[in-house]
Amino acid sequence: MTAVPAEASGTPAVDAAAPRRAVLALARVETVRMLRHPMTVAATLLLAGSWVAAWFAIGTTRYPVLQQLDRDSAMGMMMLLGGAALIVGNLAVLRTHRDGTTGLSQVLILPDHGRTLAHLLAILPPAVVGAVLILARMAVLAVCAPAAGHPNPYELAIGPATVLLLGALGVLLGRLTRSAVVAPLALLVLLAGLVALEPLTNGGGKTLWLTPQGGAALEMPTPVSLMARPAAAHLGYLLGLAGLLATAAVLGAGARGVRVAVAAAVALVCAVAGGTAQLSPPDRAVAAARTAVMNHPSQHETCRDLGHVTYCALAGFSRWIPAWNTVVQAVVARVPATARSTQLTVRQRIVVLAFDRGTTPEQLLAAWRADDAAAGTPRAVGIGTQWGDSRAAADLAAQVAYRLVADEPGEPGEARDGATACGGAGVLVVWLAGQAGTQAGTGLRLLAEEARGERGGVSFYETQLFPTVYVPAPELTVATQALARPRADIAARVQQSWATLTAPGTTAAQAAQILGVPAPATSTACR
C-alpha cells in the first residue's frame, strides 16, 4: 500500500516548533500588556520620580555614596516595580477566568503550561526596565555629582532580581487560586514581614539576608573595600527562589518532563547555596581591615593641603574635599588673623561597631586621639562619611570653630570626647558656625529648634554617632540673638574683643554685653 503524504490527505503537518513559537508569540503580547498596564507605568514613574525628588529634597544625595545607594535603589525597585510585577502578572494569569473564556482557551494549540511559561517570560522586560533605570541613576550620580566610591554590580542586579522573584510569585498565585485579592495581600504580607524582621536582627542582619532586600546596612557609609556584603551570594539566592517559583507555576499548570525537573533542581541548588553562603560572617581579614581603618584612619587616608588646612579622606571620598573646604574657610575668614596661625587638620573617620562589638565609644575616641598624635596632627577635626545636608555642615563648622576658639598656639590640646564650650567661647563657636554659609546656618537653626531636655543646649558631632562639642543653652541663646543682628556689626565686635571673648573666665552674660544683645536669664560656669 502506498503511503499518502499528510498534505495530500488534507491533514496539515504538525510542526514540532509550533508550540515554542506560540509561547514566544504569546509572551510578546503579554509583555506589551504588562509594560503598558497602568500599575506598571505608575510604578516606573514613581520609582524614577522618587529618585529625582530625593536629589532636590535630601541634601546627602547631592554628595552620594554609590556603594550605599545601589542597595537603596534595590529596595525601592522591589516595593514599586516588583509589587507591580506581582499584581499585574497575577491578573494576566487570571484574565481568562475574569473574562469567562476559560473553556475557549482549552481548545487552543497552546496548553496551560505553555501559557504559564509565556506569562513568566513576560516578567523579564519589567526587570530590564528596572535595570535600565538603576544604571541610569548611577550614571547620572557618578557624572553630575561629586559621588564617592563606586557601586557593586551584584547589588545593582538585586533590584531586577526582586522584580523577577515577585513576578514569578504572582504567576504562581494565579495558578493556585482564582482570587484576585491574594496577590495584593501577599505583597502586603511581604512588606509587613520586612518591617517586622528588621528589629529581630539586633544589628547583625543575618535574618534579613533571607529576605529580598538583603541584610542590614552598616552604621554609616564605608569605603568599598570594607563593605564585604555577600551580594553575589544573595543574587544567586534570589534567582534560585525565582526559579523555584517559576517551576512550581508550570508544574501547577500540568507541565512534566526532564527539562522541568532539571530546572527545578538547578534553582534549588542556587537558592540553597546562595542562602547558605550569604549567612556566613565576614572573614577575619575583613574584620581586621575594618577595625584597622576605624581605629587608625590616618594610616588609610589620602591627604591634601588647601591653604593652612590639611584634609585627609578615605579611599573614594576625596571628591568631597572642596565642599569641606568651603565650610572651613567660611569659619576661618571670621577669625582674627592672629588666631589663624594654628594648622588645622580635617580627618575623616568611620564607625563599624556592628562588626566590632568589643569596642566601647570611650576606647574608640581614645584610639582616635592616639592616632592623631602619632600622625602629627593632634586634635584633628573629625568628619564622617555622610555629607551634603545642613546638619553635617553645621557639625563641621562648629568643630572648626571650637578648634580655633579653644586652642591657644603651642598649647597641647585636651581630649575632645564631649567637651563643653561655655561662656564667651561657646557663644563664638555657635556664632562662627552660623556664619559658615547657608547650609551651616540652616543646620544650626534646626539644631536650636530641636534642643530639648534638661541641658537644653546643642551638641555637634564628629561622626553621626559621637558628639564632641556641647554648647549650653545660655550660650546658644546669646549666639542666636547675635546671628539675628547685622553681620558686619557683630563681626566688628568679635574682631575687637576676640581675646576677651575667648578668655576662660568670660561668661555668656559678659559675651552678650560685648556683642550688644540681651543677656541670658542664666549663665553656665565654665569647667
Confidence of residue 407 (pLDDT cuts 50, 70, 90): low
Q: At what angle do helices 112-121 and 153-176 cross, to 10 degrees?
A: 150
Q: What is the pLDDT of residue 238?
A: 94
Identify which has the larger pLDDT, 272 or 356: 272
pLDDT of 51 higher than 70: yes
Q: What is the pLDDT of residue 399?
A: 92
- Average pLDDT over the chain reads 84
pLDDT of 352 higher than 70: yes
Q: What is the pLDDT of residue 357?
A: 58
Least confident of 22-26, 242-246, 452-456: 452-456
Q: What is the pLDDT of residue 263?
A: 93
Confidence of residue 337 (pLDDT cuts 50, 70, 90): confident
Cα separation, 524 vs 139, in Å, equals 52
Confidence of residue 126 (pLDDT cuts 50, 70, 90): very high
Confidence of residue 120 (pLDDT cuts 50, 70, 90): very high
Greatest Cα pair distance, the chain, in angstroms, is: 123
Q: What share of the chain is helix, strand, coil (3-state, %, to 5)?
A: 65, 5, 30
Contact 525, 508 (CB under 8 A): no
Q: What is the pLDDT of residue 428?
A: 93
Q: What is the pLDDT of residue 230?
A: 87
Sign, Cα dihedral of 327, 333, 336, 342: positive
Q: What is the pLDDT of residue 11?
A: 44
Q: What is the pLDDT of residue 473?
A: 87
- Cell digits for 392? 553635617
Cα separation, 94 vs 364, in Å, equals 59
As a whole number, mean pLDDT of residues 515-519 equals 89
pLDDT of 105 higher than 60: no
Least confident of 4-18, 118-132, 326-340, 395-409: 4-18
- Chain segment 187-238, per-residue pLDDT in tens: 998 888 777 766 554 445 566 666 776 666 667 888 888 888 888 999 999 9
> Which parts of 315-466 are beta strand (E)?
344-348, 381-383, 419-420, 458-461
pLDDT of 310 higher than 80: yes
As a whole number, mean pLDDT of residues 157-166 equals 94
Euclidean distance between the first and final Cα of the chain, in Å? 117
pLDDT of 405 higher than 70: yes
pLDDT of 300 higher than 90: yes
Confidence of residue 248 (pLDDT cuts 50, 70, 90): very high
pLDDT of 13 higher than 70: no
Q: What is the pLDDT of residue 10?
A: 47
As a whole number, mean pLDDT of residues 6-33 equals 71
pLDDT of 103 higher than 60: no
Identify which has the larger pLDDT, 413 or 20: 20
Looking at residue 122, what DSSP letter applies? Answer: T
SS3 category, 458: strand
As a whole number, mean pLDDT of residues 70-90 equals 90
Q: Count of CB atoms within 10 A of residue 258's CB?
A: 7
> Which parts of 384-527 are beta strand (E)?
419-420, 458-461, 467-471
pLDDT of 154 higher than 90: yes
Q: What is the pLDDT of residue 353?
A: 66
Q: What is the pTM of this model?
A: 0.82
Confidence of residue 359 (pLDDT cuts 50, 70, 90): low
Cα separation, 164 vs 82, in Å, equals 7
